[in-house]
Amino acid sequence: MKHSNNFKGILVLLFVVFVLLFVFRNKVHFTSEDIYENGALSSEVAQSESCFACHSNMKGFSNYHNPELIGCASCHLGNTDSFDKNGAHNGMVLIPGNLSDAKETCGTCHPNELNKINKSLMTTNSGIVAVDKFVFGEADSPNYHYHIKDIKNSPSEKHLRDLCANCHLGAEKTQYGEINQLSRGGGCNACHLNYSKQSKTDLNNYLASNKKMLPKFHPSTNIFVNDTHCFGCHSRSSRISTNYMGLQETLLDEESVKNNSDYNVMEDGRVYKFIEEDVHHTKGMLCIDCHSSHEAMGDGKNYSHAEQAVKIQCIDCHVNGKPNTIPYKNLDTESKLVFLHRNYKHTDKEIIVTKKDKNPLVNTFVDTKGNAYLIGKKDGKLHPLNPQSEVCSRDNAHKNVSCSACHSSWAPRCIGCHNQFDKEAQGFDLLDKKFVKGQWKEYVAEFSSSQPAMGVRENEDGKKIEPAIPGMILTIAKGSYSTKKVGQDVLFHRLYAPNAPHTTTKNVRNCKSCHADAASMGYGNGTLIYDIKNNIGKWVFTPEYALNMHDRLPEDAWIPFLKKEHKSIIKSTRTDYRPFNIEEQKKMLLVGACLQCHKEDSKVMNHTLQQGINPMLKKISKSCVLPSY
């Protein structure tokens, strides 16, 4: 009998050990759905933590990160067996979610997401590093792969450390507080940290009391990402965030625009003037209404540049015909979790997926009548997804023209950029977060805006006309970083960059703004006139800006006016993106010449759109004067 009892006791002990090992080993596979469905078991585990002895009354957590379900140590680590303050806080992470600790914190429950984040461009900054090394002459292509944390101190790498290396997810969040315009990095916090009014008040009281008045409200970690989460990094470079808001950067200072409602002053002191906001921003839509988790966190693949990682296209929602859809049951796990956390109900509806990679847009659906809708993630507002207009869908002449080429109302421009190293200046290393001696400084001559120029994306997928901005018309005093004298070893580049302006409007730019506009063609601002004398037509261009001493082109130009260039000259920050070649310029200007007499909505021009220019040339009258070159 005694042996029997011992045997039963051993079996019970083994069973308990087995259960504990199972729970521990499978913790990394738990999802929000698991926690939701197994709340009772999780609650028992959580209540066993010593953290609750002091922090049991804290509120403010999101449903799926409530410590009553997952405990405190899942995020903050520490010693949950100790009831001594110092002992319990041993090994604790005060601000979890930085990529330096994410493997032990967020990544224990979200390993797949962490794996994707670690390979995303927002973490590696590979494209930024690659282009910078290319323009400094340290690489022969802007397409190599890098990681920002691996850079050393070459001229370009020091340039990145001084001016760029703050904007990546690996940058540490070291201070308590909500995400704001000045925030950079922070790993998972960058997107998922949210402070309520009560949690902000409690934080202020906690810090004011010398950390003695414990907060009652905890900030929430959830999927409710607002545009401020994106702003810190995406208001730089091509300034997508500010474009979306309708704001163009200036060189003005805060004092000069005081009490002037036409200008906005950002938290870092930069001054912006209002131009025209994106139509989606006008309707209250957030960045994440279009850019889903599959884009924001990456898909686990390595990309050279941002446009390769972006899968969403205008045609995914504004279709010609029927949208690509899948039923709810076919959603991947990540999409189902977003659907669950958002408390969506359209499980009986078809959900739109992107044409590229079939990424689900879980905030969309198509009803039984075939009408498509988007649910705004900011306020739950239902937005009808209108199909393409008749002009877009019937137009044969512009099938290789991107939607943004016509529907972007403006794009930012900056020219006269000069980079020089100051050996005596006190700098700050944005990567290592320390003060250093010597710093690269960037000087900009002018910020402005205009309708974007046009360029050609040409790769294995074909040719497409996309917007361009003067991204790098600049000089780099590379010699200033070495022992050479200032003025020696100066690099000059005239590189435009492909751009997604995020200034979308329902109305489109008129035909002349492309076919008879100097800046759109790539010649720079100025006057472009079709001059007819003695029945001979010629295009005449007078630039607005003086000629640059390095290449004798106007300061803001991309290409010379109707002059053939050597094919080996790289004119863009991308190897698959270029300006119009001489034949393409002539075709564009041929239409521009027709538009001098024929209105763009005339019968002749409408037929040209549908049939192409060549059939119409066979029908021209004797009064038509075509360009002579």
Domain segments of the chain as ranges: 393-617
- Angle, in degrees to the nearest 10, between helices 333-341 and 111-119: 110
- Position of tokens 């600049």? 474
At residue 40, the pLDDT reads 41
- Which of 95-109, 232-246, 353-367, 483-497 is least confident? 483-497
- In this structure, the number of other CB atoms found within 10 A of the CB of residue 600 comes to 16
Amino acid, res. 599: K
3-class secondary-structure state, position 436 = strand
- In this structure, the number of other CB atoms found within 10 A of the CB of residue 43 comes to 17
For residue 367, give Cα distances in angstroms to 280, 318, 347, 453.
Answer: 22, 15, 11, 39
Task: Tell which residue, 530, 479, 26, 505, has the closest CA to residue 277.
Answer: 505
Instruction: Report DSSP letters for 364-388, one per residue.
Output: EEE-TTS-EEEE-TTT--EEE-PPP
- Position of tokens 């009803």? 367
Q: What percent of the chain has pLDDT over 70?
A: 91
**Would you mind telling me the total number of residues written for the chain in this entry?**
629
Task: Tell which residue, 541, 542, 570, has the closest CA to residue 472.
Answer: 570
Q: Which helix (H) or strand (E) holds 435?
A: strand 434-443
List CB contacts of 179: < 8 A, sequence separation 6 or more: 186, 189, 190, 193, 194, 228, 229, 232
Distance, CA of 386 to CA of 163 (rounded, Å): 42
Task: Tell which residue, 575, 579, 578, has the closest CA to residue 305.
Answer: 575
List CB contacts of 520: < 8 A, sequence separation 6 or more: 451, 452, 453, 454, 513, 514
Q: Are 543 and 524 in contact (CB under 8 A)?
A: yes
Distance, CA of 69 to CA of 458 (rounded, Å): 52
* Average pLDDT of the segment spanning 494-522: 95
Distance, CA of 612 to CA of 42 (rounded, Å): 66
pLDDT digit string, tens, across residues 373-415 = 999 999 999 999 999 887 776 667 788 999 999 999 999 999 9
Distance, CA of 217 to CA of 583 (rounded, Å): 65
At residue 463, the pLDDT reads 94
| Distance, CA of 479 to chain centre | 33
Bridging pattern class, strands 462-477 and 417-429: parallel
Bridging pattern class, strands 462-477 and 490-498: antiparallel
Which pair of tokens denotes residue 588? 């564009």
Which pair of tokens denotes residue 136? 């400094």
Q: What are phi and psi of 435, to 5 degrees?
A: -80, 140
State the average pLDDT for the chain. 90
Distance, CA of 548 to CA of 436 (rounded, Å): 34
Q: How confident is the model at residue 44 (pLDDT cuts 50, 70, 90)?
A: low
Q: What percent of the chain has pLDDT over 90?
A: 79
* Average pLDDT of the segment spanning 110-128: 95
Please give the model's pTM, rounded to 2 decimal places.
0.89
At residue 485, the pLDDT reads 64
Label residue 247 left, alpha or beta by phi (over 0 means left) and psi (-120 to 50 means alpha). Answer: beta
- Position of tokens 């060549």? 614
